[in-house]
Amino acid sequence: MNYPVVNGGMIKKDGTMKIKILELENKLGKKIKRNTCSLGLDIAERTGCCYITTTKTHATFDWWCLEFDKKEIDLVYKEMYDEFKKSVSKMNEKQNFVIIEDSFLMRFGKFVQADVFKKLTRFGTLALAVCLETKTPYHFILAKSARAKLKIKMITGQPKESVANYLKETFNIELNDTDASDVKCFF
């Protein structure tokens, strides 16, 4: 898989994991759709991304983070749109779909600042626009809902660390960057 390069920011490849689908289904207690490619997007100024590609026998997870130069927000919007489009265009399986993290108004029981919520919503809308333009099926999901579906034991006030612990305990994945942790739950 070739990873996108961000013009005004940087890309950091975090890791890859290949696992037998039967093993994955046993660990998760869920059926896995075969012969698909999904792209999960943990939307933020520093966006966690993960391709999850399945064959008849294996699932491969490739994850990385996109970070954008925040000096000029209009440039961030353009670059983010371009990078989402490049990432979606790299999916070449017959059954593609994109999972986009939905904006959430509260964090640790408190409302997020309006400008932060507005920015996150705009970022998610850029991913939606790419999906509509490329006719790629998409689904929005809250990170909290994705974690609940996998029955991840949450540590109060440490959602990304909780997911990182789950990935370590369940799949022996050591993350260098917890910003890419949630995105692995979006499948």
157: left (phi over 0), alpha (psi -120 to 50) or beta: left
Alpha helices of 37-113 — where are they, by DSSP H? 73-89
Nearest to 186 by CA among 147, 153, 158: 147
Q: Is residue 24 part of a domain?
A: yes
Count of domains observed in the chain: 1
Q: Is residue 43 part of a domain?
A: yes
Q: Is residue 156 part of a domain?
A: yes
Q: Is the pLDDT of residue 151 over 70?
A: yes
Q: Is residue 26 part of a domain?
A: yes
Q: Is residue 84 part of a domain?
A: yes
Q: Is residue 46 part of a domain?
A: yes
Q: Is residue 50 part of a domain?
A: yes
**Taking the CB of residue 171, how many other CB atoms lie within 10 A of it?**
16
Which residues partner with 67 through β-bridges? 10, 46
What pLDDT band is residue 137 in, cutting at 50, 70 and 90? very high
Range of the domain at 40: 10-180
Predicted structure pTM score: 0.82
pLDDT digits (tens, 9 = 90+) for 161-175: 888 888 888 888 777
CATH number at residue 81: 3.30.420.10
Q: Is residue 5 part of a domain?
A: no
Q: Is the pLDDT of residue 47 over 50?
A: yes
Which residue, chain included where needed, has tokens 């989402």?
84
